[in-house]
Structure 1
Amino acid sequence: MKIRRNIILTILLTVFCLSVIGCSDNSKDPGWDWDDDDDIPTVFELKKGVNVASWLSTPKYDGEQRAAFFTENNVKQLKELGFDHIRLPIDEQVLWNENGNKVRAYAFDLLHNAISWCDKNGMKIIVDMHITRNHRFTNTENDLFTKSDEPTKFVKLWEDLSSELSKYSNELLAYEILNEPVSENPENWNRVLNLVIPAIRAKEKERALIVGVCTSNFAVKYSSLRLPSTENILMTYHVYAPYLLTAYGQEDTTGGRTDIPISYPGQLVPDDYISELPDKWQSTGRQIFNKEALRPFVKEGIDRAKELGLPVFVGEFGTLYTVPAESRANWYRDVIALFNEYETGYTSWDYKGAGYSIVDKDNVVAYPDIVNILTGK
Structure 2
Amino acid sequence: MRIVQNTFITIFLFSIFLSCSACSSESKETGWEWEEEEEVPAGFELKKGVNIASWISTPKFSGEERVAFFTNENVKQLKELGFDHIRLPIDETVLWTENGEKIRPYAFDLLHNAIGWCQSNGLKIIVDMHITRNHRFTNTENDLFTKPEEPAKFVRLWEDLSSELSKYSNDLLAYEILNEPVSENPENWNSVLNLVIPAIQAKEPERTLIVGVCTSNFAVMYNSLKLPATKNIMMTYHVYAPYLLTAYGQNDTTGGRTDIPISYPGQLVPDGYISQLPEKWQSTGKQVFNKEALRPFVKEGIDRAKQLSVPVFVGEFGTLYTVPEQSRANWYRDIVSLLGEYGIGYTSWDYKGAGYSIVDENNTVAYPEIVKILTGK
Normalised to the residue count of structure 2, the TM-score between the two structures is 0.91
5+ residue gaps, structure 2 = 1-29
Relative contact order higher in (CA < 8 Å, ≥ 6 apart): 2
**Is 1:30 matched up with 2:32?**
yes
Structure-2 separation of matches of 1:194 and 1:43: 21
Q: SS state of the match for residue 125, structure 2? A: strand
Aligned to 1:188: 188
Structure-1 separation of matches of 2:335 and 2:43: 24
Residue pairs, 1:65-214, within 5 angstroms: 65-214=65-214
Q: SS state of the match for residue 46, structure 2? A: coil
Matched to 2:37, the amino acid is D
Q: Does the aligned pair in 2 maintain the 1:32–1:343 contact within 8 Å? A: no
Aligned to 1:277: 277
Aligned to 2:13: none
Matched to 1:36, the amino acid is E
Aligned to 1:16: none
Q: Does the aligned pair in 2 maintain the 1:32–1:341 contact within 8 Å? A: no
Structure-2 separation of matches of 1:41 and 1:241: 27
Structure-1 separation of matches of 2:155 and 2:240: 30
What percent of counterpart residues are identical?
81
Residue pairs, 1:236-315, within 5 angstroms: 236-315=236-315
Larger radius of gyration: 1
Matched to 1:31, the amino acid is E
Q: SS state of the match for residue 127, structure 1? A: strand
Moved more, 221-230 or 40-49: 40-49
Show CA shifts across 1:206-245 (max 9, x none): 0000000011113110000000010100000000000000
Structure-1 separation of matches of 2:106 and 2:82: 28
Shift of 1:37: 3.5
Length, aligned pairs only: 348
Aligned to 2:358: 358
Shift of 1:344: 0.2
Q: Does the aligned pair in 2 maintain the 1:54–1:60 contact within 8 Å? A: yes
**Is 1:225 matched up with 2:225?**
yes
Shift of 1:283: 0.7
CA RMSD across the alignment: 1.0
Structure-2 separation of matches of 1:287 and 1:197: 41
Moved over 6 A (4+): none
Structure-2 separation of matches of 1:50 and 1:84: 9
Show CA shifts across 1:138-163 (max 9, x none): 01100000000000100000000000
Structure-1 separation of matches of 2:278 and 2:187: 33
Shift of 1:260: 0.6
Q: SS state of the match for residue 32, structure 1? A: coil
Matched to 2:168, the amino acid is Y
5+ residue gaps, structure 1 = 1-27
